[in-house]
């Protein structure tokens, strides 16, 4: 039944149209894969050498080890380490490109500018750099040198970005476990070596190596990328726009940015605005840029660009028949997009050398040719508009108002209207007195194995009812925006009474004339570092280890390696991290127990696996209340 595939009414309206149009969607392909390999789902199959593949019988009747002698515990942990290292690699690669962009911008060699000098100075101060008497360009180059030094470190010196930004109590724990990273590229390379045949066969050591990869992602991926992007494009401040497929306009050129790199999407937004007259000459009312996945989140946070949908419905956006061009960069791009687009007039435009697809038009994007590439892409979308078949257009009338742009700086700015001297005090005081029971961050993806958006939305509604403040990033933020949980009306409808009172007081003090939303949109997947910064700031204010705070995290529909690496970083921060889709680890009881119980004894955090939204919320509430009790706070 269609109702089992998504809770998004816009998606459900278009799925029958997709079938009529002869379009195969991700749900169709998932159904065709059934039954999926049970060995792979449990994590007990191994392809780490060419003697296999090997698989362990988890029921005890077949092989107990692979050909080389690796047990289920070893195979599961090797596979897990490989997943998390891949996720870290994705974010480190992203961060490196933005560091390179800042260097070239500071040298005046590309047409990007330093938009936020205040953020540049904040970052420089944390790194121990002197800022007085320096131009922003010179200071930016010094910051870049620190980032490059981390990537080029050949000794045992720890990653400077981590040492400058992580909670000191956490650093002490990581040092005691020997998991503080040195050079992010070296750590990823070492992990890939560690999982090859004839290497590490100690499940505990492999889990600790996985934790190290979480730290690589957290500081040389997430934190580094967000800092660099804020310096280049500006630190987000509150904006109001709309979310869901109803944001599309039938009489406009509809150009979608999809992926994760604001270096591209910022230029697309700029040139779409400049070329509006060309669109009008082509018969359109103008150009509408909207976003999918984290490229959408990036330009939403800084430019107020509307959100179309999240990962799982990227094909469905094309099924509207109203998309003239979808420009993609990296990560979470379905190879099926060109096949879907072939049923319509839509141009699929790839831009990056490591993401090409047969059937797409490739417009090479580099920092040096950014403006030329963006103009070409916008003009391609205008040309495609002229080929649109109006009889194939169907835009579902579903959209919700959304308030976004809640960087840590923006949150502190709102709180400073209540207490200008100690802006964190109103938030912390309300956590201490129980008006806010705790804070939960929801992150991550969609996964076709479960009903789209259901876990995100139902989990969060239950948390809000119990006066938990929720912050969100990535595709989780899309899901919650579409469900009406990122506006003031959402606070009135879903927040518990004491949480509602706090959000109303802050909203009124900030001049909104309405409550803050019950879910604060903090950005893209790399912007999970903002959540880490907020946790670190609260821990420093209270002078406690972040592992003691009534804070938790959830990836309700994880599907990408990045979600596992982000979740691993959260666990290293001492945070209980819920997973709503079972990762491939259940083939080893020992490893499952270590990840969900034993880790908390050595690192402070743990994974918590629960596929039912209500039970997951109950588990997170129990964890928050237990932490409040340890701190002597009312619950």
- One-letter-per-residue 3-state SS of 364-431: CCCCCCHHHHHHHHHHHHHHHHCCCCHHHCCCCCCCEEEEECCCHHHHHHHHHCCCCCCCCHHHHHHH
**79 with 167, same domain?**
yes
The 10 Å CB-count burial string (b at 16+, else e) for 247-278 is bbbeebbbbbbbbbbbbbbbbbbbbbeebbeb
How many residues are there in the chain? 635
Count how many Cα atoms sit within 13 Å of the Cα of residue 41 in the half-sphere of its side chain.
9
CA dist., res. 14 & res. 318, Å (int): 10
- Of 328, 360, 392, the last residue of a domain is 392
Measured between its terminal Cα atoms, the distance across the chain in Å is 42
Q: What is the 3-state secondary structure (H, E, C) of 270-295?
A: HHHHHCHHHHHHCCCCCEEEEEEHHH
CATH number of the domain bearing residue 146: 1.20.1270.30
pLDDT class of 3 with cuts at 50, 70, 90: low
Segment (H or E) for 471: strand 468-472
- In the beta sheet, which residues pair with residue 361? 349
CB atoms inside a 10 Å sphere around CB 597: 12
Please check whether residue 15 lies inside any domain of the structure.
yes
Please check whether residue 60 lies inside any domain of the structure.
no
Please check whether residue 284 lies inside any domain of the structure.
yes
Please check whether residue 67 lies inside any domain of the structure.
no
Enumerate the H helices of 260-361 as residue ranges: 262-274, 276-281, 293-303, 314-319, 337-341
Write down the pLDDT at residue 324.
98
pLDDT digits (tens, 9 = 90+) for 477-498: 999 999 999 999 999 999 999 9
Instruction: State the residue range of the domain holding 17.
Output: 2-55
CA dist., res. 36 & res. 40, Å (int): 8
**118 with 207, same domain?**
yes
Write down the pLDDT at residue 4.
87
Write down the pLDDT at residue 58.
78
Q: What is the 3-state secondary structure (H, E, C) of 522-580?
A: CCCCCCHHHHHHHHHHHHHHHCCCHHHCCEEEEECCCCCHHHHHHHHHHHHCCCEEEEC
State both tokens at 627.
Answer: 């932490």
Please check whether residue 258 lies inside any domain of the structure.
yes
CA dist., res. 119 & res. 231, Å (int): 6
- Number of domains forming the structure of the chain: 4
Question: How many Å separate Cα 626 from the centre of its chain?
Answer: 28
- Tell me what the mean pLDDT of segment 63-79 comes to: 94
CB atoms inside a 10 Å sphere around CB 634: 10
State both tokens at 216.
Answer: 């690589």
Return the axis-axis angle of helices 262-274 and 72-106, rounded to nearest 10°: 50
| CB 195 within 8 Å of CB 81 | yes
- Tell me what the mean pLDDT of segment 590-597 comes to: 94
**370 with 500, same domain?**
no
Q: Residue for token digits 């910022």?
A: 266
| CB 193 within 8 Å of CB 81 | no
pLDDT at 585 exceeding the cut of 80? yes
**227 with 268, same domain?**
no
Closest residue by Cα to residue 262 from 287, 214, 218, 230: 230
The 10 Å CB-count burial string (b at 16+, else e) for 517-527 is bbbbbbbbbbb
Spatial neighbors of 470 by CB under 8 A, at least 6 apart, are 439, 440, 441, 442, 460, 463, 464, 480, 485, 518, 519, 520
Separation in Å, CA 197 to CA 56, 86, 193, 234, 538: 16, 18, 9, 46, 44
State both tokens at 535.
Answer: 């946790």
Kindly state the percentage of the chain with pLDDT values over 90. Answer: 94
| CB 576 within 8 Å of CB 61 | no
The 10 Å CB-count burial string (b at 16+, else e) for 450-473 is bbbbbbbbbbbbbbbbbbbbbbbb
**458 with 575, same domain?**
yes
CA dist., res. 550 & res. 554, Å (int): 14
- Of 392, 411, 428, the last residue of a domain is 392
**558 with 429, same domain?**
yes
CA dist., res. 300 & res. 317, Å (int): 18
pLDDT digits (tens, 9 = 90+) for 528-570: 999 999 999 999 999 999 999 999 999 999 999 999 999 999 9
Closest residue by Cα to residue 184 from 144, 226, 218: 218
CA dist., res. 41 & res. 582, Å (int): 9
pLDDT class of 512 with cuts at 50, 70, 90: confident
Spatial neighbors of 277 by CB under 8 A, at least 6 apart, are none
Please check whether residue 121 lies inside any domain of the structure.
yes
- Integer-rounded Cα radius of gyration of the chain: 24
Write down the pLDDT at residue 1.
40
Whether the CA torsion 565, 46, 331, 120 is positive or negative: it is: positive
| CB 596 within 8 Å of CB 632 | no
**What is the DSSP-derived secondary structure letter of residue 455?**
H
Write down the pLDDT at residue 539.
94
CATH number of the domain bearing residue 558: 3.40.50.2030
pLDDT digits (tens, 9 = 90+) for 220-279: 999 999 999 999 999 999 999 999 999 999 999 999 999 999 999 999 999 999 999 999
| CB 71 within 8 Å of CB 58 | no
- In the beta sheet, which residues pair with residue 350? 328, 362
**429 with 376, same domain?**
no
Please check whether residue 65 lies inside any domain of the structure.
no
- Of 212, 233, 254, the last residue of a domain is 233
**349 with 211, same domain?**
no
pLDDT digits (tens, 9 = 90+) for 7-56: 999 999 999 999 999 999 999 999 999 998 888 899 989 999 999 899 99
Write down the pLDDT at residue 60.
74
Mean pLDDT for the chain overall = 96
**444 with 585, same domain?**
yes
**358 with 282, same domain?**
yes
CA dist., res. 611 & res. 586, Å (int): 14
Write down the pLDDT at residue 392.
97
- For the chain, count helices (H), then strands (E): 28, 16
Write down the pLDDT at residue 59.
77
**320 with 449, same domain?**
no
pLDDT digits (tens, 9 = 90+) for 295-330: 999 999 999 999 999 999 999 999 999 999 999 999
pLDDT digits (tens, 9 = 90+) for 114-142: 999 999 999 999 999 999 999 999 999 99
**360 with 409, same domain?**
no
- Tell me what the mean pLDDT of segment 503-521 comes to: 94
């Amino acid at each position: 039944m269609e109702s089992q595939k998504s809770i998004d009414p816009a998606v459900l309206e278009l799925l029958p149209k997709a079938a009529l149009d002869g379009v195969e969607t991700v749900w169709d392909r998932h159904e065709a894969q059934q039954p999926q390999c049970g060995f792979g789902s449990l994590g007990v199959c191994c392809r780490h050498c060419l003697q296999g593949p090997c698989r362990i019988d988890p029921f005890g009747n077949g092989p107990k080890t692979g050909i080389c002698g690796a047990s289920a515990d070893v195979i599961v942990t090797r596979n897990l380490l490989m997943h998390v290292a891949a996720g870290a690699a994705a974010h480190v690669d992203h961060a490196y490109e933005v560091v390179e962009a800042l260097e070239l911008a500071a040298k005046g060699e590309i047409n990007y500018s330093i938009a936020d000098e205040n953020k540049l100075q904040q970052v420089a101060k944390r790194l121990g750099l002197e800022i007085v008497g320096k131009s922003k360009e010179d200071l930016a180059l010094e910051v870049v040198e620190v980032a490059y030094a981390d990537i080029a470190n050949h000794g045992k010196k720890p990653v400077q970005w981590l040492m400058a930004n992580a909670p000191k109590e956490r650093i002490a724990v990581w040092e005691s476990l020997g998991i503080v990273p040195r050079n992010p590229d070296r750590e990823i390379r070492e992990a890939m070596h560690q999982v090859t045949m004839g290497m590490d066969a100690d499940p505990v050591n492999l889990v600790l190596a996985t934790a190290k990869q979480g730290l690589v992602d957290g500081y040389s991926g997430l934190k580094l990328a967000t800092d660099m992007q804020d310096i280049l494009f500006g630190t987000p401040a509150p904006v109001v726009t709309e979310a869901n497929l109803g944001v599309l306009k039938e009489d406009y050129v509809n150009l979608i940015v999809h992926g994760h790199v604001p270096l591209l999407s910022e230029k697309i937004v700029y040139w779409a605005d400049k070329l509006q007259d060309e669109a009008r000459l082509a018969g359109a009312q103008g150009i509408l840029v909207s976003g999918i996945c984290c490229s959408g989140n990036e330009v939403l946070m800084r430019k107020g660009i509307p959100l179309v949908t999240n990962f799982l419905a990227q094909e469905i956006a094309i099924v509207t028949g109203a998309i003239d061009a979808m420009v993609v960069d990296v990560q979470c791009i379905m190879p099926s997009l060109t096949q879907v687009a072939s049923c319509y007039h839509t141009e699929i435009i790839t831009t990056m050398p490591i993401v090409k697809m047969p059937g797409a038009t490739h417009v090479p994007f580099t920092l040096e040719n950014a403006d030329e590439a963006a103009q070409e892409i916008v003009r391609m979308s205008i040309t495609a508009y002229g080929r649109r078949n109006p009889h194939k257009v169907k835009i579902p009338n579903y959209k919700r108002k959304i308030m976004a742009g809640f960087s840590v700086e923006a949150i502190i700015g709102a709180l400073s209207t209540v207490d200008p001297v100690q802006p964190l005090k109103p938030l912390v005081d309300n956590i201490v007195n129980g008006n806010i029971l705790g804070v939960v961050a929801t992150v991550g993806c969609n996964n076709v194995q479960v009903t789209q958006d259901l876990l995100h939305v139902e989990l969060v509604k239950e948390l809000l009812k119990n006066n938990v403040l929720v912050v969100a990033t990535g595709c989780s933020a899309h899901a919650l925006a579409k469900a009406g949980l990122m506006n003031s009306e959402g606070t009135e409808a879903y927040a518990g009474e004491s949480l509602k009172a706090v959000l109303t007081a802050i909203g009124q003090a900030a001049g909104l004339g309405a409550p803050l939303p019950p879910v604060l949109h903090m950005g893209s997947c790399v912007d999970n570092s903002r959540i880490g910064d907020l946790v670190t700031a609260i821990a420093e204010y209270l002078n406690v280890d972040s592992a003691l705070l009534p804070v938790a995290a959830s990836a309700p529909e994880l599907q990408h390696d990045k979600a596992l690496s982000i979740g691993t970083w959260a666990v290293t921060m001492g945070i209980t991290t819920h997973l709503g889709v079972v990762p491939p680890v259940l083939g080893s009881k020992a490893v499952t127990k270590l990840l969900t119980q034993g880790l908390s004894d050595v690192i402070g955090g743990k994974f918590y696996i629960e596929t039912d939204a209500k039970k997951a919320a109950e588990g997170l509430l129990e964890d928050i209340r237990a932490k409040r009790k340890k701190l002597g706070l009312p619950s």
